[in-house]
A and B are shown apart, each in its own frame.
Chain A
Amino acid sequence: MKSNFAITVFFILLFFPFSARGEKTGADFIIQGTVSSKTDGAIIGASVIEIDINNRVVNGNITDINGHYVLKIKNPENRISFSYIGYVKQIKTLGKNKTLNVVLLESSQEIKEVVVLGGKKHSEGGFSIPKREIATAIQTIDMKEMEGLQVSSVDEALQGRIAGLDIVSNSGDAGSGSSMRIRGASSINGSSQPLIVLNGVPYDMQVDQNFDYANSNQEQFANLLSINPDDIQEISVLKDAAASAVWGSKGANGVIMITTKKGYSGPTKIEYSYRYTGTIQPQGIKMLNGDDYTMLMKQEFFNPAQNSNASNYPEYNYDKSFPYYQNYNKNTDWVKAVTQVGNINDNYLTLSGGGDRATYRVSGGYLSENGTIIGQTNSRISTRAYMEYAVSDRLKFTTELSYTYSNYNRSYQYNFGAADSPNDNLSILGIAYKKMPNVSIYNQDPSGNNMPGFFTTPVNSDLNWDQKYLVNPVALALQAQNNLQNYRTLPTFRIQYDILDPNKEMLRYSSYVSFDINNDKTTMFLPSSVTNYSWSDPHYNRGESDDNDAITIQTDNNIAWQPSFDNKDHSLLLYESLQTTEGNSSYQGIVSYGLPSSLADDASTPGYLSTVSTNRDHWRSMGILSRVHYSYLGRYIFDGTFRRDGSTKFGNGDKWGNFPGLAVKWIASDEPFLKSAKKWLSMLAFRPGWGVAGNQPGADYLQYSLYGNNGSYAGMPVQTPVTLQLQNLKWETTSSFNYGCDLGLFDDKIQMDMNVYFKKTTDMLFPTVAIPNSSGFSSLTYQNAGSMSNDGWEINLYANKLVSSKDFSIDFRFNIANSVNKILQLDNSILNTYNTDFNYQNGSYLTRIEQGNSFGSIYGFKYQGVYQYDKYIPGSQENAPVARNANGQVITDEKGVPLPMYFNFNQIGGGASYLFRGGDAKYADINHDGNIDEKDIVYLGNSNPLFSGGFGSTFRYRNFSCTLTFNYRYGNKIVNAARMYAENMYSTNNQSVVVNWRWRKDGDVTTIPRALYNYGYNWLASDRYVEDGSFLRFKYLTFNYSIPKKILKPYGVDKFNLYLTIENIFVLTKYTGVDPEIGYGSFGVSEDLGQTPRPKDLTLGVTIGL
């Protein structure tokens, strides 16, 4: 309401001066003349425009076929402007003349690159300051650097280029997003994703309040995918809170600011680019073939039971009398069957240009992609229009409009079999790795030839449920549907008005209204042909349909004032802004099953309705922002920000949060006493800063105790309290100190910036905090429950034209960063909730949060190989399961009989104790009590890297350039769960070829234990599966060639570039999994669950400009 009022008032204010001036007219009179050029004679169609003192257009006409014009003049004090595309504009005052003949000069020689040294501005909306006066930790990338790279999204482009920005792709699946962290995670359970700001407008993604950031992979909506990299001019990353305090409650995780390209005056330019990319998937774990697999199964069932009948499954027996014999005698490589060479076709067309008053840039593109997994496709249509119209030199309107439609066909995921099993939510590739390899893909005729239709394990099979319900991944990929369609429209309208003459003193009002309209539609269908469930099962012909609509409206009204001082040593910029955000979202989901056929696959088809869910949300927030930027002598700089944010998410007491920021900068190299060093020391600046940023909970209406409908009882309608009122809820705040230093050597040939920071998050928001059930509730939706710190440093180095001759130059860049996070304090209730006891199950790593430690720590047993012998014989069979004391001597009982090794001797947690045998995994008995239990669990490492970063180089020779980009991480640990499940020999899932080296008989020397079906403790969480995740990746190699203008000119072509990019050329790592770049899971532990690895790409591209 209030903001509407404000807008109205400002509009009245805006038009007031015009109406006042517009009426001051003199007698009309007419002028005439000709417009010509020296070379071409009379110019036809040149514009002749009467403009007032503010360059506002009053009247206009164009020249006729003879270059002649006639114009009726409103006010003799106005000036006349003559212009024509390709010629230099001329402005004449009238005086008493009634005839004005003008000769225009060709402008071609005049368009030269205008470089104003030190004058490059950094702009955030109306707040625009010289780049060298930036006192906060900001790093900017000009997208020119990216030219020629095949990047399908912004996050890919940023990878390895910004110190302190850690980007990990969630997976290599088509259309899946990345998780990004600036300077480590500032929250344990909430979102750690930075805020994206597009042309000064926060580009918020709407996520469901139940969205689990920590554990999401494919479902994570790829936020940045809907901005086309071709449209981007520049990306700035705001790293410290002094900078991000401007964004107040949204800036706690850092801010990524994206500026898109605009149009420039001049003739219309057309640019078209096309890229083709071929992608292949790297080789993952090598799995057993059918013959080795059935051999393993025979042993796996035999070992625990010591009975050959235990493995008597017809599917493993190769018995010709078995009706399905032909289906179970194959050697199928399922991984190969579900992977393919992927490809991407990307077309993009841009038109830009403009005249004096208006400039525009319109672009549109179409991208289509086939993933490396069969059945995954992605297509995207995106358009963007940017139009700027200057009514006068003082008043300017801008319209931006972008529309993106994306259509993803993703892999279908659902729970195959029981919950909490490893078969939970498997990807296509995950199934391919687990599926028994001796089964056929297609139905077989009696002689073993493929028949139409995919083979599905019959429901009456005797196989164990994990294989029985594991679907045919090829059938699932090709027949099941999981489609996401996203429509996103972002119109933004801006107005900018200089209240005073901008050439004398800047007092500028600007304002915008921005809409973000986002619709998601998910359609899923699981046809009965893929599964073996009976017709009454909820998985039979199951359809799901979700609709998610959200609209966000943002407004900003701001005034920037730069008073002009007589003493030019002072420079001051004041800025005041009022911002509002209002959002609405609604969600509807419906799941039904037993649909009549695969042809009617929408969930709304009559069938059995399983669940219907709906959700509506409405929120608002408001921010008042004041900024001051002061510089004295251009080398003593002070920056101050104060922001006050209010949100509907909090109760009256804590509705408003204050977010201040302070930064100072001293450009020492400009001091007189360093004048002498100017030759080599072009820049030396120090910039300490401090700031506070915040975070708000992801849910609404938390401050209320809500009463909701809950069916009825005996005809009486029921309403019950459904939530606890959160009175104590506060903003999560992150305050940080940043000490930065900028260094420029040899006329900025080598530039370097260094930052050290100390970040502290207090009142950390925790979702779903358990409270005693005796309260009648199980949890508080949110609670502020502790604090943690993130301290670190970053170094960024850029060498511009390091080596340079007439035709040849080399650029080099390097960055490195480190961040250490530590939990300072946490409420006991949370520690107790999360730090559960060891459950004495295989494969479960203990993750603990402890005060004073960083999270991401991994705990487990120490693996010491395999017991070589079953019976202990001193001297000859030493490596057998017997208890040993600290000196390695065997412990014996009073009769001298060696004591055996037990697992869970005390039967804690309801499990039975287990006696180790020969061939079993050997774990370090830390306390030497002959019993492996929770007291033998030790710290195994941490998933946080010691440092990470990237480096690269660009070589240029004439019109040819070559860019290399590397990124690396060092010192992090990964739980290779994919390998764990592929080597445990515990289920009937297919296993890695490594298990061929398993222990089979007494005396075998190996590190792979024996096969035990559903028995024993051979895959306890141990350091066997915890691996060093350090890597160095050769990320991009790009060759770029632009054909010289001389050659192009005759064909009317302005630009013709060719390029070739090879992505992901190699990775140097000790990690045995497919890809060491693994995101962070819950508690910050990286767990490799075998997601689709990032592919190797080869891109060929061409850009033509007319």
Chain B
Amino acid sequence: MIMKKLIIVLSVLLAFGLESCNNWLVLKPESQIVLEDFWQTESQATSVLAGCYRGLTADPCIERMIVWGELRSDNLVAGNSTRNDMLKVLNTDITPTNTYADWSSFYSVINYCNTFLYYAPSVVNKDQNFTTTKLHTLEAEALTIRALSYFYLVRAFQEVPLILNPSISDAQNYLIPKSSERVILDQIIVDLLTAQKYAKTSYGTAALNKGRVTLNAVNALLADVYLWDQQYSNCVDMCNLVMADQTLQLVAGDKVLNNVFYTGNSTESIFELQFNINIQSNNNVNKLYGIDSSPLGELAYAYYLGPKGILNPFNYQPTTLNESSNDIRQTNSFGTLTNGTGYPIYKYSLLQCTENSDGSVTPVYRNSATTANWILYRLSDVILMKAEALAELDRSDDDLKQSLNLVNMTYLRSNITADSLYFNNYSDKGSIEDLVLRERQRELLFEGKRWFDLMRVVRRKNDPTAILKYIGPKLTGGAIQTQQMSVMNALYMPILQSELQINTNLKQNPFYIDTNLSSNN
């Protein structure tokens, strides 16, 4: 009797039980959302897109924009308690174990973009408010951010794995080999041309218009890519599109330091990463460029370019001509320590420069409790890109003259008392090229641009030794180091050792394979 009942109860239990056991064993986290429940609404899609920007503002990302874009150049030397790995980059003595060979922060951004581009289209069917038009404008932003990330990678490493799919699970293959520079550049251009079609021109507020990708930002980036890829007429076209926008205005020369770099989101800004002291502070600027409590940061203006330096772009005297002798950008970009032992960086770290009656300036440092936006593109950069492209085109004197005029636009706003530069003094392609390069150095000092400017020169000439003219005085390693610079590959970064160990399909930049050579001091 009892046995029977028991058996019945047990079998019922078993039947119901086993089926619902699986359900009982499904638990979802309380503080996070799982993929299956995500991608339902417009706000979720937008929040992942915001994550792409957030990824760019991460410390390692900005740090690499500065390290890759400027540290090996003639602009910078070591400042106060500089990190060892940074010292090695400054001295262009880079080994595969150097932390700045780590590209993960950019790939993290790329993965956010890939994730967005993969899943966002599905939201259109789930959320009625999320129209295809809205989707396209958001996609334009994601494509641009991904292109920007790959552009940094291709300039720093030349060849990297090109990954366009999101990383979702451990079932995927992550051992992706490198793609050629050509393939990556083509992908960047394709993505940007798509973005160009849908990118918004305005988001309503100043912070968003500068902080998010606008059509101007797409065009400026595309101009930069074309310039790197030596497609000069395309570059000029893109610059023209940007310069045609009347809302972009150069800020007066004496207001640049405060308006552009301290207050931020100025009228000449095209795309700048937004920081907020409560959410994400731009710590790199504080640490590397200096702050009120520690005016000399880890980096300093190169000593041999100092006021008396012969290579100083602010004191260029090839003949009787005296270019930039009274340039406000010199007083506003860096200072001199009272004991003359270093040149602390002013750009990004000052609130303003107060001019004294005797003509000297007093730097007023930004308080450490404030933060700076990081400028990726601004109007003067685009103007000088166009100048560079025209000089390279050199279809006629007209191109060169136009180029000189463009240089004068940025030159004159910072040299109010000076005369404009005349074509008589810069009448051939070579001197215009040099002038543009010098003007870009003066204008974009410490903005993470100089090394790439120099690399463009080298790439054009296909001669790595061309860079020695600029960074030669900085190299302390003697003949061996100079010799190393005779290889094109040496100008690109090595792939991080640990990455090579894990991703067996990766091949190291050939220059860094012989470790005996690269680690010589």
Contacts and interface: CB of A to CB of B under 8 A. Distances in A.
A13 B9 contact: yes
A718 B43 CA distance: 10
Given A648-B27, A770-B498, A717 B50 contact: yes
Interface stretch (B73-81, B100-108, B433-441): B100-108
A720 B54 contact: yes
Nearest to B84: A910
Contacts of A908: 515-516, 519
Contacts of B38: 707, 719
Contacts of B168: 705, 721, 724-725
Given A646-B22, A833-B501, A616 B31 contact: yes
A959 interface: no
Interface string A600-613: 00000000000000
B28 A646 contact: no
B498 A713 contact: no
A778 B502 CA distance: 10
A13 B506 CA distance: 66
A714 B176 contact: no
B274 A714 contact: yes
Interface stretch (A1-9, A135-143, A266-274, A796-804): A1-9
Given A6-B17, A776-B107, A704 B28 contact: yes
Interface stretch (A172-180, A335-343, A440-448, A617-625): A617-625
B25 A622 contact: yes
A912 to B, nearest CB: 7
B470 interface: no
B48 A720 contact: yes
A774 B499 contact: yes
Given A704-B35, A720-B55, A833-B502, A620 B22 contact: no
Given A646-B22, A713-B53, A775 B167 contact: yes
Interface residues of B, number: 85
A908 B208 CA distance: 49
Nearest to B39: A707
B253 interface: no
Given A772-B499, A776-B112, A620 B6 contact: no
Contacts of A5: 13, 16
Contacts, number: 233
B328 to A, nearest CB: 30
A776 B27 contact: no
Given A706-B34, A707-B33, A719-B48, A774 B107 contact: yes
A625 to B, nearest CB: 14
B6 A499 contact: yes
B97 A910 contact: yes
Contacts of B27: 618-620, 648, 700-701
B395 interface: no
B360 interface: no
A910 B167 contact: no
Contacts of A647: 25
Contacts of A780: 170
A887 to B, nearest CB: 29
Contacts of B166: 721
A718 B51 contact: yes
Chain A CB within 10 Å, residue with most, of B48, B97, B170, B499: B170
Given A2-B16, A622-B24, A701-B29, A718 B54 contact: yes
Interface in B133-183: 160-161, 163, 166-172, 174-176
Given A706-B35, A714-B212, A719-B44, A724 B499 contact: no
A490 to B, nearest CB: 24
A17 B174 CA distance: 64
Contacts of B17: 2, 6, 578
A720 B45 CA distance: 10
Contacts of A877: none
B35 A705 contact: yes
A558 to B, nearest CB: 12
Interface string A755-798: 00000000000000011111111101001000000000000000
B507 to A, nearest CB: 13
B2 A906 contact: no
A721 B115 contact: yes
B112 A620 contact: no
A452 interface: no
B99 to A, nearest CB: 12
A580 B20 CA distance: 13
B167 A724 contact: yes
A729 interface: yes
A236 interface: no
A909 B97 contact: yes
Given A716-B46, A725-B170, A778 B9 contact: no
A783 B174 CA distance: 14
A726 interface: yes
B519 A910 contact: yes
A828 B103 contact: no
Interface in A92-120: none
A621 B499 contact: no
Interface string A690-709: 00000000001100111110
Interface in B1-19: 2-3, 5-6, 9, 13, 16-17
B286 interface: no
Interface in A255-283: none
Contacts of B115: 721
Interface string A651-662: 010010000000
A128 interface: no
Contacts of B521: 912
A713 B516 contact: no
B170 A726 contact: yes
A711 interface: yes
A618 B28 CA distance: 8
B170 to A, nearest CB: 5
B519 to A, nearest CB: 5
A564 to B, nearest CB: 14
Contacts of A728: 169-171
A2 B107 contact: no
Interface in A544-583: 559, 578, 580
A703 to B, nearest CB: 9
A32 interface: no
A6 B14 CA distance: 10
A1103 interface: no
Contacts of B2: 17, 499-500
Nearest to A12: B9
B479 interface: no
A17 B35 CA distance: 52
A306 to B, nearest CB: 22
B274 A725 contact: no
B20 A2 contact: yes
Interface string B223-252: 000000000000000000000000000000
Contacts of A774: 103-104, 107, 160-161, 163, 174, 176, 499, 503
Contacts of B506: 772
Contacts of A580: 24
A738 B42 CA distance: 60
Contacts of A829: 502
Nearest to B167: A775
A773 B21 contact: no
B25 A704 contact: no
Interface string B78-122: 000000000010000001010000111001111110110000000
Given A727-B169, A727-B170, A774-B499, 14 more contacts: A1-B24, A5-B16, A6-B13, A646-B21, A704-B29, A713-B57, A713-B211, A714-B53, A719-B38, A770-B502, A772-B174, A777-B111, A906-B516, A909-B515
Closest 7 CB pairs of A and B: A776-B111, A773-B104, A720-B51, A705-B35, A716-B50, A772-B503, A832-B501
16 contacts: A6-B17, A499-B3, A622-B21, A646-B21, A648-B26, A707-B33, A707-B35, A714-B208, A716-B47, A728-B171, A772-B503, A773-B499, A774-B176, A775-B107, A836-B501, A909-B95
